Amino acid sequence: MRRISIDALNGSPEEVFRLTELLGSGGVAALPTDTHYALAADPLRADGVARVFAAKGRDDGKPLPVLFGLRPQLDRLGVQERAEKLDRYFEIWPAPLTAVFRIREPIPASRGHRTVAVRLPAESRVRRLLEAVGPLTGTSANRSGGVALDDPDAVEALFGESLDVLVDGGRSPGGEPSTIVDATTDPPTLLRAGAFPWPMK
């Protein structure tokens, strides 16, 4: 496993290219978010997604959430929602709010479902990385049933052998996980209460 600071990574086009190539070939990384550290793989790569589940010690068929950095990346995921609906969420994002949207067809991260849960994270360094690398899975860094980790040293100790890269952003904020809402319903349905207050005012 290789460990690199997020600032050094964002500051080097060569390192960004190296990480992009790694993830594009089924690699797995850990990176900080606006809540906890996440296990990151290309959501369109079945082998990378499988490695994430193996690292967590479970494969219960549940979809993996996806982090993204730019609105056009939703097209790559196949998101199919009205522009007005997306606009509403982009008025809130970046924030610790995960929204479930419809997609054209299942992708590896959606585990057979025609929906995907996406989030534009509030952490600016992470957004910058995602803007360059593309959307990545964002499931919390923990073993199945364990506590989500916010300390990169703890992430390395627990997942070192399962990771290709640990993107070190220092200790992440921790606390509550992101709030999750099902945006395919009208009004949206709260699936998990979390760091973002819901319902929206």
pLDDT tens column, 136-172: 999 999 998 899 999 999 999 999 899 999 999 999 9
Structural domains in the chain plus CATH codes:
2-192 (3.90.870.10)
Is the Cα torsion angle 20, 34, 78, 11 positive or negative in sign? Answer: negative
The first and second tokens of residue 192, run together, are: 């998990």
Residue 99 is inside which H or E element, if any?
strand 97-102
Beta strands in 34-178 (DSSP E): 38-40, 66-67, 97-102, 115-119, 136-137, 139-140, 165-168
| pLDDT score of 144 | 84
For the chain, how many helices (H) and strands (E)?
7, 11
Region 49-65 average pLDDT: 91
The first and second tokens of residue 161, run together, are: 């052998």
The first and second tokens of residue 38, run together, are: 């996440």
Omega cis (within 30) before 199: yes
Residues sharing a CB contact under 8 Å with residue 150, sequence separation 6 or more, in sequence order: 35, 36, 37, 171, 172, 173, 174
Amino acid (1-letter code) at residue 160:
G
Token pair 């052998």: residue: 161
Residues 17-54 have pLDDT tens digits of: 999 999 999 999 999 999 999 999 999 999 999 999 99
Is the Cα torsion angle 57, 54, 20, 91 positive or negative in sign? Answer: negative
Model-wide pTM > 0.75: yes
What are the CA-CA distances from residue 185 to residues 78, 137, 151, 189, 190 (Å)? 18, 23, 36, 6, 10
| pLDDT score of 59 | 78
